[in-house]
Amino acid sequence: MASEAKLKELLAQMTLDEKIGQLVQTNGIFFLKDDSELTGPATELELDLDYRKNIGSLLNFKNAENAIKIQKKHIEDDRNGIPMIFANDIIHGCRTIFPIPLALGASFEPDLVEECCRMAAKEAAADGVHLTFSPMVDLSRDARWGRVMEGFGEDAYYTGVMAAAQIRGYKGKGLSSKESIATCAKHFAAYGAGEGGRDYNAAELSEHALREYFLPAYKACVDAGVDMIMPSFNSVCGVPATANKYLLCDILRDEWGFDGVVNSDYSAVKELITHGVAKDYKDCARLAFDAQCDIDMISPCYAGYLKQLIEEGVFSEEQLDRSVMRVLKLKNDLGLFENPYHGADPALVAKLELCDEHREIARRAAEESAVLLKNNGVLPFSKDVKKVVLLGPFATTYSILSWWSSRGDKTKATTVYAGVKELLKDAEVIALDVCTRDYNDEDESNIAEAVELARNADVAILCVGESGRYSGEANSRTDIRLSKVQRTLVREVTAVQKNSAMLLFGGRPLVITEENEYVPAILEMYLPGHEGGSAAARLLFGDVSPSGKVSMSFPRSVGQCPVYYNRTQTNRPPRAQYLDVPSPHNFTSAYLDCGTSPLFTFGYGLSYTTFRYDSMTLDKTKMTKEDTIKVSVTLTNTGNVGAKEVVQLYLHDLVASTAKPVQEFKAFKKIYLEPGETKTVELEINEPMLKLWTPKGEFISEPGEFTVSVGYADHFHFTERFELID
């Protein structure tokens, strides 16, 4: 690895154009097409061809072979021989796809998330990737927003814990390792707070909301050593994040001390014009660079105008050097100066892709991420059944990966049909898609056949949900129920077959309030990746018990959105008896036509066994800021199958200088218990957990009384008081 002095020497010999080139990031197409073909989309980059030799990084280059070919030519063309960074969106796997982050959020298994990302890094590095635009840590409270599938849900602390696990997984033994890739936390900040759940929309929120909810997970990434930050597309309090000096300089650089690369989102710099804050590309370059956005992704602003801005004295060459040095340092950390190809190895890709070990990790992740939302006792189905019908658009489809399944070959996914067939070798397994996965499908012509199949089977599994193409970027929706034909299918099948279960797929918490009324069992799989079908089969037929817990609340109605567990009390909270049902008019903060609480709230999830919480004890009930309180929770598996449970700890600050949530999730442990086994779990309360953002703009703890509870949101087994004393 080169020393900092060597990097400074390199910087000193670079021309202005060469320096600026390091801050330009283009699409792989710019290097893969030969010159005569570079028209149309490529020229959208508005860069002339000989500019290629200066470019510092690129994304979307498909595979290791291309990475090697492009890098080799680039080093020959670039006067300084500076290797490019090869980036890609490795969001939930590279070639072996595991569950989407929203599903992993239900696992409450940081170690498993780390293991998945370790696997993804090995595959990605072999496939020529140096940098992934992951983790995504946007707080997700609004299920209308399609990008909730990319994050870990509605709790900032928990999102930070899981994102830190991702960063550990991706970085492994260090960036210079051929099995590691650099990381980028996105989308900074408050991208999930877009008004109306509409993607890219303005986020108008208070400093208090930013500090308490929408910033902490990014800070957790900075503390975990994330290599890069990507500003969000949206405006935050009126200023687009890409040019938001308060976010990018005052908070990120000055307050948090982050001196890594800030990489714009796709064309976000030039889109400052459509935001209405810049009049032309030169203005875009000025605004973004002034906010210390170092790299301009897929837009002509820096390439076209940064030189002018420096020659005109708007920016100094020292400011340019500062950004260029950040990029050179990242390349140096990756070991690219010694080994410009990093881990690229096409033969290794072929060996790793969907190998048994990786498939096993993907299956385990899908099992741990599934949430049993309802079970009247029909699950697990017996493996002795003779006839099973799988009904619905997810019965045989390979499309159980997601919008962000990178280079994963979906045709190699284990479908639900294949999983059930493999597990029940002697049973007759019939699958009927019945309808499409389109959310507006109303064609009910195949319902009658499905009902007949269900009537004459031992069990009916309804494989329904929202297609992966309707979540992810630019996929906001206002009606997040199942499609009409799927709702009819579920209703009519369950009317004739009591041994029915609904297997639910999708990239967001759907509104399934209607189905919840009459379906005997609901197992949420989200978008479970390559081994989703085998995981679903093992869960449905009891080889493994579901252990996932909701990390993003399910609305009863889209009219509740955004709805989340850590609500504030208000001056007139809903009466307890009306929390889950429509409230009469009684001057409380409730709905006349719907319960206030989510249908399924944060931390909720059933098991095939039952757990009795026997006790919760505190080793003290008063603590100073230097102290901690040990919380011991004893629980017993009172059922007849071994299973995992997530022991969850919530705090409530009874009186504070701001209105605090009725409950805040602050610690957890997932443990396995054999039937009849009793275990005691130790959790800890420390002072940082008690901090709040005060009206004076400080993040501090305040002496006073708190409660500590165990259970899941709004459903506690024990609650005790303790005091923080001066």
Task: Give the active site residues.
Answer: 265
Site mask for ligand GLC (CB under 6 A), range 274-313, x = bound: ----------------------------------------
Per the CB < 8 A criterion, the answer to whether 361 and 98 are in contact is yes
CB of 298 to ligand GLC, least distance (A): 8
Sign of the C-alpha dihedral computed for residues 204, 161, 699 and 725 taken in this order: positive
Nearer to ligand GLC, 191 or 611 (CB): 191
Nearer to ligand GLC, 121 or 536 (CB): 121
**What DSSP assignment string belongs to 220-275?**
HHHHTT-SEEEE-SSEETTEEGGG-HIIIIIIIIIIT---SEEB--TTTTTTHHHH
- In the complex, the smallest distance separating the C-beta of residue 198 from ligand GLC, rounded to whole angstroms, is 14
Give 347's contacts (C-beta < 8 A, 6+ positions apart).
none
Q: Identify the residue among 2, 80, 246, 266 touching ligand GLC (CB under 6 A).
A: 266
- Site pattern 355..394 for ligand GLC (x: CB under 6 A): ----------------------------------------
As a dihedral over the C-alpha atoms of residue 536, residue 542, residue 544, residue 550, rounded to 10 degrees, the angle is: 60
The nearest distance, CB 260 to ligand GLC, in angstroms, is: 16
Residues 424-483 that bind ligand GLC (CB under 6 A): 473
Q: Cα–Cα distance between 556 and 562 in angstroms, integer? A: 11
Q: How many residues bind ligand GLC (CB under 6 A)?
A: 7
Q: Convert 363-409 into a string of H (helix), E (strand) and C (coil).
A: HHHHHHHCEEEEECCCCCCCCCCCEEEEECCCCCCCCCCCCCCCCCC
CB of 269 to ligand GLC, least distance (A): 13
User: 622-623 and 715-724: which strand pairing?
Assistant: parallel
Residue closer to ligand GLC, measured from CB, 18 or 89: 89
**Smaller CB separation from ligand GLC, 475 or 545:** 475
Query: For ligand GLC, which is the closer residue by CB, 403 or 712?
Result: 403
Instruction: Decide if residue 89 touches ligand GLC (CB under 6 A).
Output: yes
The Cα 359–Cα 351 span in angstroms is: 12
Told to check if 265 binds ligand GLC by CB under 6 A, we report yes
Is the Cβ of residue 266 or residue 718 nearer to ligand GLC in the bound state?
266
Helix axes 356-369, 532-540, angle to 10 degrees: 50
Residue length of the chain: 726
Q: Is the separation of the CB atoms in 390 and 552 below 8 Å?
A: no
3-state secondary structure of 218: helix
Spatial separation of the C-alpha atoms in residues 682 and 436, rounded to whole Å: 48
* Least distance between ligand GLC and beta carbon 114 (Å): 21
44 contacts ligand GLC (rule: CB under 6 A): no
Instruction: Write out the DSSP string of 21-79.
Output: HTTEEEETHHHHS-GGG--GGGGGG---GGGGGG--EEE---SHHHHHHHHHHHHHHST
Beta carbon nearer to ligand GLC, 57 or 637 = 57
Q: Find the shortest distance in angstroms from Cβ 480 to ligand GLC.
A: 21
CA distance 104 to 116: 10
In whole angstroms, the minimum distance from the beta carbon of 600 to ligand GLC comes to 27
Taking the complex as a whole, the smallest distance from the CB of residue 186 to ligand GLC amounts, in Å, to 5
For ligand GLC, the closer of residues 133 and 608 by Cβ is 133
Phi, psi of 542 (to 5 degrees): 85, 10
Site for ligand GLC in 114-173 (CB under 6 A): 133
Between 133 and 213, CB nearer to ligand GLC: 133
Least distance between ligand GLC and beta carbon 687 (Å):
35
Per-residue CA distances from 494 to 410, 455, 515, 579, 683 (Å):
30, 9, 10, 28, 42
- Cβ-closest position to ligand GLC: 133
Residue 521's H or E segment, with its range, is strand 521-526
When the beta carbons of 228 and 525 are compared against ligand GLC, the nearer one is: 228
- The whole-angstrom separation of Cα 160 and Cα 666 is 11
Residues between 174 and 203 that touch ligand GLC (CB under 6 A): 186
Contact 463, 416 (CB under 8 A): yes
How would DSSP label each residue in 404-442?
A: T-TT--GGGS--HHHHHHHH-TTSEEEEE--S-S-TT--
Residue 614's contacts (CB-CB under 8 Å, 6 or more residues apart) are 634, 635, 636, 678
Smallest distance from the beta carbon of 41 to ligand GLC, in angstroms? 15
* Biggest CA pair distance of the chain: 80
Provide the minimum distance between the beta carbon of 221 and ligand GLC in the complex, in angstroms, as a whole number: 14
Which pairs with CB-CB distance under 8 Å and at least 24 residues apart come from 622-625?
Answer: 622/722, 622/723, 622/724, 622/725, 623/685, 623/687, 623/722, 623/723, 623/724, 623/725, 624/724, 624/725, 624/726, 625/687, 625/701, 625/724
Q: What is the DSSP letter of 279?
A: S
If DSSP codes are grouped into helix, strand and coil, which group holds residue 14?
Answer: coil
Measured between alpha carbons, how far is 434 from 423 in angstroms, rounded to an integer?
A: 23
Q: Which CB atom, from 208 or from 469, has the smaller least distance to ligand GLC?
A: 469
DSSP state of 193: G
Query: Where on the chain is the footprint of ligand GLC (CB under 6 A)?
Result: 59, 89, 133, 186, 265-266, 473
